Amino acid sequence: MQTTDFSPTVVADAAERTRLDLLRRNAICQDFFQAEAPRLAQACEEMSRRFLAGGRLLAFGLGAAATDAQHVSVEFVHPVIVGKRALPALDLGPDFAAHLPVLLSPDDMVMGFAGSYPDPAVAAALELARDRGALTFGLSCDAAEYAFAPPDDDPFIAQEVFEILYHLLWETVHVYFEHREQGHDVGAAAFLYPFLGRDKQGLAGAVEQVQESMLQKAGEVNRIRAAVAETESEAIARIAVATVDRVALGGKIITFGNGGSATDANDLAIDCVAPPAGMTPLPAISLSAEPANITAIANDIGSEAIFTRQLIAHAAPHDVAIGVSTSGSSPNILAALVEARKRGLLAVGLAGYDGGKVVSERLADHAVVVHSDYIPRLQEVQASVYHVLRHRIDELRAGNTAHA
């Protein structure tokens, strides 16, 4: 199926707005971490003590913020650094208010996500956890020892900054954990914070150096995002106008991804169906949000079919399939994109590294590539990409400019 040829003016305008939106995030990110790096370094040091004492990280949130809790869980349990141990973390799900009092132990760490608005349920859960001795983090919630206000009025930007925050916590906890346990031999984590593997030094000195390393990492996010703004804005704009065309014909967005990318797929679907105030809802589903289907298909057929099998059931000719992958070469993502094109869907790939097989084998109608080989950084920029894409789609639908 061929989509409509859109006015070059519409695409050019959407591309420029995309470029500016991506670049606007950099100053916000820099200012936030410049202010918060000292507290984050101290928090990580305390987290390392609690993990060694048997504590767990319990995360929760509602709506789009629930996907951050999912992301936290997978990052700590399934670390991307080869050889790093799994650290106990749980997403408590939407019934967190009932689950937390039963599961909570004094050595635990509790992270509540409230999006960019006050959430009484999240605040109450954090207050309970703090009263019971847990170390608490409130992201857009002040009822915690480590409370962080939204860094911007745009809830998408706030969520992106908070994703960088919990990625930095994850990276640094691994370093402190091994720093305490092994003396000063940080093993395979040395490339993250090489200074911790030098001469014997106290943790106080390490905290100061970790702060600087955190700022360097935030700067790396900005560098990658700026590169994406220059090279990928037109591709994002073309995806937006093509999606508007499809939705106008009755189509929906179907998202999918693995691991941390699964939480991104879930987030994008929620951002479509239940967007921030002022935006128009958009029909979307996430195939990554179906654990019963995923486990049944993986068990009975194999993991490569977990998205394809669902896509066969849900796909309609005017739909848009968006596969999120850090490598660009995950077999189940590739298979789903192939199936999507076979069925006449618009196939979109969001990839890292050099685009992987999504690009080299031209398996998508449109691809946006975040050129990075370090998963946390490229995931952080991918979040900016699909959030800006969501804004472009909303603007184009509201202005009815897709066929201008």
Which own/partner contact pairs does 189-193 have at CB distance under 8 Å and 24+ positions apart?
Answer: 189/81, 189/84, 192/81
Residue-averaged pLDDT of the chain: 90
Task: Please check whether the two domains, 23-222 and 232-399, share a CATH topology.
Answer: yes
Per the CB < 8 A criterion, the answer to whether 159 and 65 are in contact is: yes
Q: Which residue, chain included where needed, has tokens 């019963």? A: 292
Q: Percentage of the chain surpassing pLDDT 70?
A: 89
Q: Percentage of the chain surpassing pLDDT 90?
A: 80
CATH match for 23-222 among 3.40.640.10, 3.90.1640.30, 3.30.70.1110, 3.40.50.10490: 3.40.50.10490
At residue 193, the pLDDT reads 44
Q: At residue 395, does pLDDT exceed 60?
A: yes
Q: Which residue, chain included where needed, has tokens 């399939």? A: 321
Q: At residue 222, does pLDDT exceed 90?
A: yes
Domain boundaries, the chain: 23-222, 232-399
Give per-residue pLDDT as tens, 254-294.
999 999 999 999 999 999 999 999 999 999 999 999 999 99
At residue 1, the pLDDT reads 40
Q: What is the mean pLDDT of residues 303-332?
A: 97
Q: How far apart are CA 196 and CA 209, in angstroms?
A: 9
Q: How far apart are CA 182 and CA 167, in angstroms?
A: 23
The band of 173, judged by pLDDT with boundaries at 50, 70 and 90, is: confident
Q: How far, in Å, are 55, 60, 68, 71, 287 from residue 90 at the CA level?
A: 11, 8, 12, 10, 21
Q: At residue 119, does pLDDT exceed 50?
A: yes
Q: How far apart are CA 83 and CA 79, in angstroms?
A: 9
Identify any residues that bridge with 147 across adjacent strands, giving them in sequence order: 138
At residue 232, the pLDDT reads 98
Count of all residues that appear for the chain in the document: 404
pTM here? 0.91
Per the CB < 8 A criterion, the answer to whether 352 and 323 are in contact is: no
Q: At residue 194, does pLDDT exceed 80?
A: no
Give per-residue pLDDT as tens, 47-56.
999 999 999 9
CATH code for the domain defined by 232-399: 3.40.50.10490
Q: What angle do CA 19, 25, 30 make, to 5 degrees?
A: 140
At residue 84, the pLDDT reads 74
Q: What angle do CA 186, 190, 191 make, to 5 degrees?
A: 165
